[in-house]
Chains A and B, each alone.
Chain A
Amino acid sequence: MLKFEPRGAESKVWRYASPVLALVLTGIVTGAIFAVMGRPPLQTVYTFLIVPLVQQDGIAALVVKAAPLIMMGVGLSLAYRANVWNIGTDGQFTLGAICGGGLALAFPDVPAVILYPAMMLLGALGGAASGGLVAWLRIRFNANEILTSLMFTYITQYLLIYLVTGPWRDPQGFGFPQTALFSDNASAPLLVPETNIHIGILIAPLVAIGLWFMLEKSLLGFQFRVLGQATRAAKFAGFSENRLVWVAMLISGGLAGLAGLFEATGTLNQLTTNLSPGYGFTAIIVAFLGRLNPLGAIPAGLLLALTYLGGDAAQISLGLPNAVTGIFQGILLFFLLGCDILLRNRIRWVAPAKAAP
């Protein structure tokens, strides 16, 4: 019989080994699923995880995909540390893109030095407003933020559909549900010419480092950590839970909004109905894979970006539906959560006890 024995203190080794173990187990189980589907497991896993990296421009595609995931994952790390369960970053991402994108459509001719920073600001504000609304509903009306933030995701998605099929539809777009392309002034500034490595790729790791410092070294960060581990102790110390809920929702919402703006102006260059390929849920996995540590969100974001590219690669070269990405992500999160028992417990084999009379 398998038995768990509590450890005295959290294991330092498993803090880093458990995500690795989770990854290995996920690889094995996904391979098994491929085998069941009649695909050669090793080759499929190879196509899924390695091929995207060795392709031409593979690294560029990876970092472009990872930037929004890192930004959203960092925000969620902070929120989840304080037990603020924002699961609606998809909606905040979308609202950020709508706000910044709307500005781009309204003032296409304003010079980029003014227009783009204004778009970034408005995008972040849009996401923060959406997150702030969730915070307000929780604080003022005690409404569960899990449900409200998710409902706002659906509402924002319909708002986007309304805009791109209605007032903002491109008149020259042959009736497709999309806006006109953004002007050059409103495109994300590139870090490397002739690629689509845009400014967001620089900002994402900076945000991660900044928030890591805040969380580990500042009084505000300390308050987040205490609130997440012991609500009563936070009260005893005089840390205001409401204030922290506000900060968590505004930051995680604002970062998601900014990520949405970068995605709209750096990759798509217009608003369409499929702005986010489920980034909201993926960002949750990024946060957990990074151990709710903002720095951890950087490698975690890169890895999950890889699963998107892997899904595309598997679709193109093996004819697998790209929903494989979702399966891989779901299994990964299961194993991540399950393996954490090793942090707090030892596993031992114990002879089964004699049956009760």
Chain B
Amino acid sequence: MTDSAADPLLIMTGMTKQYPGCLANDHVNLTIERNQIHALLGENGAGKSTLVKTIYGVVKPDSGEMIWDGRKVAVQNPGHAQRLGIGMVFQHFSLFEALTVAENIALGLGSAKERAGLKERIAKVSNEYGLPLDPDRVVHDLSVGERQRIEIVRCLLQNPKLLIMDEPTSVLTPSEVQALFVTLRRLAAEGCSILYISHKLEEVRALCSHATIMRLGRNVGEVVPAEKSVKELAEIMINMDLHAPIRHTASARSETPRLVLDRLTVRSPYHFGTDLKDIALALMGGEILGIAGIAGNGQSELMDALSGEILAGRPENILIDGVPAGHMGPSERRRIRGCFVPEERNGHGAVTTMTLAENAFLSGHAREALVRFGIIDGKKTHAFADDIIKRFDVRTTGPKAEARSLSGGNLQKFLVGREVLQNPSVLVINQPTWGVDAGAAVAIHESIMALAQAGAAVMIISQDLDEIFVLADRIAVIAGGRISDPVPTADATVESIGRLMGGTAVREAADA
């Protein structure tokens, strides 16, 4: 290791991986120096995940060469990667909810020798790097930030030479992000290179000394991030002139609120979910309210309580256009013009194995009158689906295509279109552009703004602060199942919202 200290740690050349119907990596090159914090930058679907999974031995490339620490290797599996000194922290954590912190870490260590005296070593490493953890706690009781620390500690215990972080900050509060950066810089200084995968340009500029940019499975740039502006980086990343996003401008407000939540308290039906506590909000027509927050703070429960999948304690807890709706099921709420787009497309908002026409029928049958005497009106259903496809520019072969044949962005456009075309007076969307390409995201944002212009009350629940600042007229934060008082977007800053996301301010306000 010492004799070749000047050589790069990792050189990948010509990496190619073909999936059925998709060339995920097309002769991609990547070189990581020692002690370097190296960014891998690209949109969703650019091929970043495939490339790092190749490094980590999860994906076998079709061709290409990998030179690690001066030697040519073909990583067979994650265990092999770990033995080589490669550690990885996944975007969706690979943790076991029902096991303790120590058990989770033990599972990541190969041999009994490595596991000896584990609890003490966890305590030592976590103290050293500012990653506090209690080894005996069960994971399902931990916050998202704590869970990420488990993964990092698990990697550090193996003394890695390269630590791969896949979108690590998407689940953290701004202050947690700062703490993570301190840890990462210290690791790099001590000789562990870091491959930092992200599409967040500000972060990459702040943290990384070098960036490899990918688009559609290919290399499109090698830059020093600090020398480029955010706009320049973005233009390389998505290959189009980026006009500043059109901010939503306030439209005419209705006289009376269209959606009112009054002391809404709901017990979570999920394994280790978050209960909703005493939520009070009022939305006017023409207004977009953004609900910011870190994953797992009650967003799913809020969505379910609004859509009618979970019923509220009393009918008056939820008013849609003045009608008490707390005890109504989803179909009844749709009849009084409440429409909803849940976060998960596959198997929640849509049945992936059914056709688009059937999926249009799924939530549209009540308001669009697609049933006559209990029998499905096939013609009308087909026409409704066709209308959604045309008006929302959904790229597909037609209403008879199965939902799973669509890309994430196209399916999301279809699902948003399905609800928007039902002409709702209240629309609630959870994570409107999660896992969606830039083009589709713009289209979805425009349709949300148009709906608000037309007089509907829109609530967007999102973990993407940028999206909330672009769309929302007012912003509230959900933390620990409570929602803060909304503030006008003009008066809000990333810092003030970030503090609320940490939960302290909300709790104090609730206690006061």
A356 within 8 A of B: yes
9 nearest CB pairs, A to B: A238-B330, A238-B331, A356-B76, A230-B347, A232-B348, A230-B351, A238-B329, A233-B351, A235-B309
The verdict on A356 contacting B376 (CB below 8 Å), with A8-B21, A229-B354, A236-B349 known, is no
> Is A5 within 8 A of B348, CB to CB?
no
A357 CB, nearest partner CB in chain B, Å = 7
Q: CA A349 – CA B376 in complex, angstroms? A: 44
Q: Determine which of A10, A237, A353 lies in contact with B60 in the assembled complex, contact meaning CB atoms within 8 Å.
A: A353
B332 within 8 A of A: yes
What is the chain A residue whose CB lies nearest that of B303?
A236
Question: What does the 1/0 interface line of A227-245 toward B look like (CB < 8 Å)?
Answer: 0011011011110100000
7 A–B contacts from the bound complex (CB under 8 Å): A6-B20, A9-B402, A217-B375, A226-B362, A230-B352, A238-B366, A356-B77
> Is B376 within 8 A of A237, CB to CB?
no
A220 within 8 A of B: yes
Interface size classification for chain A: 20 to 34
A206 within 8 A of B: no
- Scoring B332, B347, B350, B358 by chain A CB atoms within 10 A of each residue's CB, the highest score goes to B347
B222 CB, nearest partner CB in chain A, Å = 32
> Is B376 within 8 A of A222, CB to CB?
yes
Q: Find chain B residues with CB under 8 A from A6 CB.
A: 20
- Chain A residues 7 to 22 lying within 8 A of chain B, measured CB to CB, are 8-10
What is the chain B residue whose CB lies nearest that of A354?
B74
Q: Find chain A residues with CB under 8 A from B249 CB.
A: none
Chain B: residues with Cβ within 8 Å of the partner, total of 39
Q: Find chain A residues with CB under 8 A from B342 CB.
A: 232, 236
Interface residues of A (CB under 8 A from B): 5-6, 8-10, 217-220, 222, 225-226, 229-230, 232-233, 235-238, 240, 353-354, 356-357
B336 CB, nearest partner CB in chain A, Å = 13
> Is A219 within 8 A of B376, CB to CB?
yes
B68 within 8 A of A: no
Q: CA A232 – CA B334 in complex, angstroms? A: 17
- Scoring A6, A226, A238, A240 by chain B CB atoms within 10 A of each residue's CB, the highest score goes to A238
Q: CA A237 – CA B361 in complex, angstroms? A: 9
What is the chain B residue whose CB lies nearest that of A220?
B374
Q: Find chain A residues with CB under 8 A from B365 CB.
A: 219
> Is B374 within 8 A of A237, CB to CB?
no
Q: CA A354 – CA B349 in complex, angstroms? A: 43
Q: CA A356 – CA B21 in complex, angstroms? A: 29
A291 CB, nearest partner CB in chain B, Å = 14
A25 CB, nearest partner CB in chain B, Å = 26
Q: CA A238 – CA B328 in complex, angstroms? A: 10
Q: Find chain A residues with CB under 8 A from B361 CB.
A: 222
Q: CA A233 – CA B330 in complex, angstroms? A: 11
Q: Determine which of B309, B375, B376 lies in contact with A236 in the assembled complex, contact meaning CB atoms within 8 Å.
A: B309
Q: Determine which of B80, B309, B331, B348 lies in contact with A356 in the assembled complex, contact meaning CB atoms within 8 Å.
A: B80
